[in-house]
Every structure is written in C-alpha cells, then in structure tokens.
Structure 1
C-alpha cells in the first residue's frame, strides 16, 4: 500500500504515507524508551508500533483481533497501544490541542465564528458526550449512566474549523447533571474567570458591548460567557431567530464529534478497556484529529464529509452522519447545569437577540428558516 496504493494506505491508517512518515519522526523518540527486542524476536520499530495503534483506533476492533492481524502477542499489543497513545498525546497536544493563550488568540477564534457562522463574539462551541465502555471490574455504579450503560464523559470545546481547543476526559458516567461541567477543569476556569477571555467588545456596526461567550445547547447553563437557546416552542420571531443563529454555530461541535467518530471507529461501539486506558485512547484520537485537520484537512475531511451550507443557509448534511448513524459509542450527555441564571446573563442573551433582529446583525435568510418558507 505504501508503494502502490495510496488510497488503501489512507483507508488503512487514516493518513497519507507522507503524513504517516512525518508523524513517525515526531513520536519515535518517545517510543524508543522501551524495546520489545529479545533473542527470540526482532525489535518492533516505532513505525510498526504507530501503525498498529492507528489501526486499532481506526477500526475499533478488539486488541485480540489486532494481535492476529499484526502477528504480535496479545499482551504486547496492549502495551504498544497504551504507550503509543500516551506518546501521541505527549508529542501532539502542546502544538495541536492547546487552548488559546492570549486575548488575541481568543479574538482570532471569534473572528472565524463571525466570518463562517455569523455569530459575533463567539469563542467556541461546547458539548459533551458519553464514551461507552465495558463495565469496569468492581466499579459498582460509578460509571453507570442514566442511559443504562457504562461510560466516561468527554467534555470538549471546538473552534470554527472543527478543531478541539479544550477537552476534559474521564468523569464517570454517573455524573449526568451539573457536576459534569463544574467538576471539569474548563468549567472551574470559566467560573473563576481564569480562561483569559478578552474584555467585552462592541457588536459589529454598533456601540453595544457584550462579553465573549461560548455557545451550547439546552443542556448547558446560561451564563455571561455561556449562551444557550431560549426554551419552549412557538417562540416569537426574535427568540426563534436567536435560536436559529445559535444552532448554526453550535453545529460545529456536533460535526467535530461526528468526524471524530467516523474516522476513529473506536468510538462507534463500547470500548473494552479500563477507564484509564479509555482516557489515553481518547486523548490520542483527539490529538490525531486536530493534527490531521491541520496538516491534511482536505483529505481527512473532504468536501461533503461535514455539514455544508449554501448562500441561503440551506444545510446539506455531511457524509459522516450516514457512517455513524445508529452507533452507540458516543451519546449525548444530560443536563450539565441548572436553569437558574443571573440577570446579567439574561441581558447578554437578549442584547444579542435584538442585534440579530437589526439591520446590522441580521442575515437575509433567517426569517425564511424560522417560518420554513422558500428563499
């Protein structure tokens, strides 16, 4: 495949030969700490260890199946996957999964959301998923979630280009309420005002200042720096327009999770591993996702693979949806916050609602979508 069949090589390892070789060069130093050489067998090279791990993440097959495919002992496969996933996170995370470190970084994310999704002062889309796992030994109900299975929780924030900028992995599945957000490092930093978000700035074309904020669905609490939809049905036009505009931006995180599960099929069924190992596997897959979104985006996520919009806001669903339809490896979390909110949080949401109804902030097709008429 390396020499004669580039397409099969990509399908086998989820990356081109050139990208694979570049990745081997990056992780090889971290993989040379342990040698599997003995008098009875040759050394397993860093490239072979990486290929074995990528194949495991790409297929989601059992480690026993991988051991037969690569003709490596089952225990050796377990060690290789665990150590290679740790090496991938160690090497790739500082460069490809790093959160914004300055106000200008946050403003850059906000500019992309405004440019691509017409939502000003948005610094990320947030969502959470249950990663389905086999019931851990002697864990009782610690990882048992309200959906009737066992899981660990993945909380993530992404930018406008489907790249994860914050991830929090490992909360046990039983935390399906406000504890998920408040117990995460991101949630604590948000509450304490330690994310380094820029000061409030004016909405485009106006003198009205509003804070920078993340967008989430109805599972998340309404805060000054966290926006969620207006509740209820049969809403008036201003609230319906706000919900429509927010849903367009929030769709980014939905696509990020969908692309992740479609490319790394480990997440399309319950993972047979301890929770600690599941965290390692998830970290590696997210690091690889961001690495490939950055280095060979058009191959990893070609045109039509993610959701797309035309000039009238009509959505064409991405191909990833047909690939992961019916899978139960990643499922939605429940409410992660109460419905209580401050007056200042409500004022921020109302201000943006009114802006979307003004000539400076509206998009021409928004009324047709909330009334479901032709445009």
Structure 2
C-alpha cells in the first residue's frame, strides 16, 4: 500500500486550519475534528505490513503475504473497491483487527482514525465480501480416499470415510427478550454451529445460526434439509452426541474413547469395541484441533461481541472461510495454538464443547441406528481379526518340522506335538468369525472363506513350529537352559494368544448386515 495514502485531503486540512477558526466559538467546538492523529489508519497499516513479520500475525491473525493475497482476492470482480479515504488494505485491516481484539466501533475509530460510521460501513462491506467466498473456499470433500486412510491401522476399514463432523458453540450477545432459546446447558448464550472438516484441516461444510439449546443431532438434520449431502456409500465420523447410522459412524457408548482416556488406561485395546474407538478417535482428532485453531486465531469467537445477531452469525462463517484461505496459502497453523490472546480472559464465555450423548430426538436418525450398529460392528470385527492374525503370525514361530530328529530330538518332537495340540485346541475355541448358522452374503461371504483359510494355515503352522519339552523329562546342562528359555517363550505365546485371539464364542448370535 502506498505510504503516502492519507485519510484527509489537502483541502480538508486547509478547511480545518483556516476556515473553522473564523466561525463562532460554539460552532467551532461542535464541529471540531476528533481524529487528528498524524498516525492515520493507512500509515498504521503500512507500518504493520512492512514491519516485523509477527506484527501482522498479532494484529491481523495471518502472515503478511497471505494478507496481501486476501486483499488481491477481494479486489477481483470488484468484491471490494478502494474508497475515497479508505483503501482495500485498510478495509481488510479494520475487519481483521476487530476479529483479533473484539474491538468496539469506538476503539476501531480511534485506532484507524475514521468516524464510527465509516468503520461500521467498511466492516460490513468486508464481512459480506468474505462470506460470499464461502462456495469458493468451503467445498465438499474429495471422494478419493485420503492418503492417511491408506495406513495399515485404517486400511481398508475407513476407506469410505470422507470427513468428520462436530458441533461447536460460539458465543452470542442478544437482547434480553431473545436470550432463552440460545441458553445452552452451561446457562450461557451461544449459537450451535455444525462444522465438517477433511483430513487436511480444511472446513468442507459450515451450518451456523442455530440456538445454543439445540442438540448437535438437530443441527445436523437441519443441515441435511438445506443442502448438506452424504455421497452414496460414504460416511462421516461423528462423536457420541449423534446417532450412529450408516452415514454417520459414532464410537461405542460406554467404552473408552478419547485418546486421553486410552492413554490413562496404559493398556492395549482388549476387544473390538475398544480398538474401534481408538482408531475412530485417532482419525477424528483433527476436527477438535481445527476448531481449537479457529477460535485461537480469531478470539472474537470466544467472547460476546458487539455486533448484531446476523453479523455475529456471519462472523463465524467468515472465520471458517478465512481459515481455509490461510490453509490453502500454507499459513502457519502452529502459532495460533501457542500465542497469547490479547483479550481479557474474563470476557471469555464458558460454552459447551458439544453433546456428550445422543438424545433420541431425531426420528429420521432413529430409523437407521440398527443398520448403523451393524456396519460399525462389521468394521470393528474386521479390524480386530486383522490384529489377531498378525499377532499369531508374529509369535507362534519356532523350528521347522522338516528337521531330521534322533534320540533326544525324538523326545522333543513328541513334546512339541503335545504342545501343538494345546495350541490348536485354543485356536479352535476362540478363532470364530461367523458361526456356521449365520447367513452371509457378498463381501462377507468372501471374507468368511478367507478367514477360515487363514485360520487353517495358522493351525498348521503351530503344529509345525511349536516345539518344547514335557515337564516329566529329566534334562541337564544346555538342555536345562533351553528348557527354561522355551518355557518362558511358551508363556509369552500363550499370553499373546489369550490377549488377541478372542472374538465370539460359538454360541453367540450375531446379526450380519448384508451389503
């Protein structure tokens, strides 16, 4: 921006210096200019953009080059135009400074040396221009699986997952007669905003404006009624505040879920439900991070602002647009999490983080819950089966049966066969994927056949490789050492089998979702 750009023209200065003093004292006092600082808004903005890189982050919440890119984007198609006294750079700076500091109109007028009417006018112009970019920067997720889903712990179980959804509460300031519907369970005032984001930390949908008393599931249902769609065969990850359906997979209720809970337990998942919840939390963790970054970058979202209700709602949407714009321009996402917010923390409003449970309040979701539970069980059981098969192949490997054996080796061979029989018995008890009475179709039938074939290989391998000594054998010297070592190894194998090879007893009745 041209540093010579000034708010007042030369003729205006001459009027203030020579014409006004000739008026009466009372007339001069009533019309005396208020904003007369030599540090005009234009010069202040120019100093920030050409100063230390942290100044732009501190005041405008983004890097200088991204600020300039935003100005250029808003200049396109005349979304914004330079005013007589206020350039586009200064217009954008006014808006971003307000989001950064929750600055009042009077504070902005003093900081940028413009009248309150001018500040209000350009704040509204920039807000409208940025919200109009919603369809440009907030777009549905790609239908191609994200590379993170190709990791062994997620593949192929989450290949149809395209994003995650959550509800976040953003503070509202309302007239007294409009407050009750927006009073949340913490008895503060907020709007409940549904956001969906992809695995690249970008928002793909934002549905704002619902009262803070509304459930997350109700806001999602309203979003579906107003254009939000789930592509056929795909699904989103949601938390426990939503119904578990084929399109929106939630974690198992009553089972450890959050990564902090998993860490405090200090043990591996003990069953398929805990394993599913762990993987679900690992994938969905990014949406909690993106919401945290958004509110740290734009602190106005954490306090009751000074604008009309309509503008407060638009600010939440515009903030998401700006977040995506910064992300697409490789902005730094680490500093908002570590920076100091320049707003008195007493102004922060305590709002809920989202619903902890689904309240069965949406009939459209209730009809799909059984199908959702079957889909979740199928995915969870397949993940658990993969771990069990991997662990068997890792731990049950000793000596090949093709070895020529004589004397003591023959005794060893007999002992080994006895041990193999025990292992085979254990596997036949626990490695049950589907009971034989279950009707299975399509991919499930193929999986069932493949799993039985793999189980057969595992049983064969155990009979080939598990070699020990019977307890009645008299052993000396090196054999005694070998015996002790083999018994210790046997203990590990037995422990691992008992930990991982547990599915359903054959008497369990399970329902299979036909795909």
Q: TM-score range by the shorter chain?
A: 0.7 to 0.9
**Larger C-alpha radius of gyration, 1 or 2?**
2
Shift of 1:295: 0.4
- Alignment match, 1:343: 370
1:61-72 pair list within 5 angstroms? 61-72=103-114
1:149 counterpart = 2:198: no
Spell out, residue by residue over 1:218-272, the C-alpha distance to the aligned partner (whole angstroms, 9 max, x if none): 1011110111111114795211111111111111110010000111111122223
Quick check: which one's helix share is greater? 2
Give the Cα–Cα distance (whole angstroms) in 2 for the partners of residues 232 and 323 of structure 1.
Answer: 40
Q: TM-score, normalised by structure 1?
A: 0.75
The 1:361/1:226 distance shift into structure 2, 3 A limit, reads: farther
Number of the residue aligned with 2:172: 133
Q: Aligned partners of 2:185, 2:382: CA distance in 1, in Å?
A: 39
- 1:344 offset after TM fit, Å? 1.7
The 8 Å contact of residues 267 and 330 in structure 1, kept in 2 or not, is answered as no
Structure 2 gap ranges (5+)? 1-47, 257-268, 392-498, 500-515
- Could you say which residue in structure 1 is the equivalent of 2:162? 123
Quote the residue 2:117 is aligned against: 75
- Displacement of 1:159 after TM fit? 0.3
User: 1:58 is matched with which residue: 82, 100, 116?
Assistant: 100
Q: Deviations over 1:158-193 (max 9, x none)?
A: 000111001001112222364222222x46656xxx
SS of the equivalent of 1:142 reads: helix
The Cα shift of 1:329 comes to 6.3
Deviations 1:307-326 (A, max 9, x none): xxxxxxxxxxx648999999
CA 1:258/1:361 → structure 2, altered by over 3 Å: closer, same or farther?
farther
Structure-2 change in CA distance of 1:187 and 1:223 (3 Å): farther
User: Does 1:222 find its partner at 2:269?
Assistant: no
Tell me what 2:303 maps to.
269
Q: Report SS of the residue matched to 2:210.
A: strand
Counterpart of 1:23?
A: 70
Superposition deviation, residue 135 in structure 1 = 2.2
1:292 to 321, 326, 329: 326
Q: How many angstroms apart in 2 are the aligned matches of 1:116 and 1:276? A: 46
Question: Is 1:232 paired with 2:279?
Answer: no
In 2, Cα distance between equivalents of 1:354 and 1:322: 45
Query: Residues 46 and 329 from structure 1, CA distance in 2 versus in 1: closer, same or farther, beyond 3 angstroms?
Result: farther
Q: What's the CA shift for 1:72? A: 2.1
Deviation at 1:80, TM superposition (A): 1.7
2:120 matches 1:93: no
Q: Does 1:49 align with 2:64?
A: no
- Residues 236, 248 of structure 2: 8 Å contact kept: yes
Structure 1 residues 117 and 167: CA distance shift in structure 2, 3 A? farther
1:12 to 33, 55, 59: 59
CA drift of 1:12 comes to 2.0
Counterparts of 1:6 and 1:154, CA distance in 2:
33
Q: Give the corresponding residue for 1:40.
A: none
Confirm or deny: 8 A CA contact 1:158 1:164 kept in the other structure.
Answer: yes
Separation in 1 of the partners of 2:91 and 2:388?
Answer: 52
**Bigger relative CO (Cα 8 Å, ≥ 6 apart):** 1
1:345-360 alignment, distance < 5 Å:
345-359=372-386
SS in 2 for 1:156: strand
2:386 aligned counterpart, secondary structure: coil
Which digits, 9 at most, give the CA deviation of each residue in 1:184-211, with x for residues without a partner? 2x46656xxx43x144xxxxxxxxxxxx
TM-score, normalised relative to structure 2: 0.56
Deviation by residue 1:34-53 (Cα, 9 ceiling, x = unmatched): 94x4xxxxx21111000111
> RMSD value over aligned CA atoms?
3.3
Q: Is 2:190–2:351's contact at 8 Å kept on the other side of the alignment? A: no
Q: What CA deviation, in whole Å up to 9, does each residue of 1:28-83 have, x standing for no partner?
A: 32123x94x4xxxxx21111000111111122233332222112222332222222
| 1:142–1:174 contact (8 Å) kept in structure 2 | yes
Does 1:280 pair with 2:314?
yes
Measure how far apart 1:337 and its partner are: 5.4
Q: 1:188 to 1:294 in 2, by over 3 A?
A: same
Which structure has the highest strand share of the two?
A: 1
Gap change, CA 1:10 and 1:178, over 3 Å in 2: closer
Alignment size in residue pairs: 321
Among residues 127, 147, 172, which one is paired with 2:211 in the alignment? Answer: 172
**Which 10-residue stretch deviates more, 21-30 or 249-258?**
21-30
For 1:361 and 1:78, the matched residues in 2 are separated by: 63
Q: Is 1:159–2:159 an aligned residue pair?
A: no
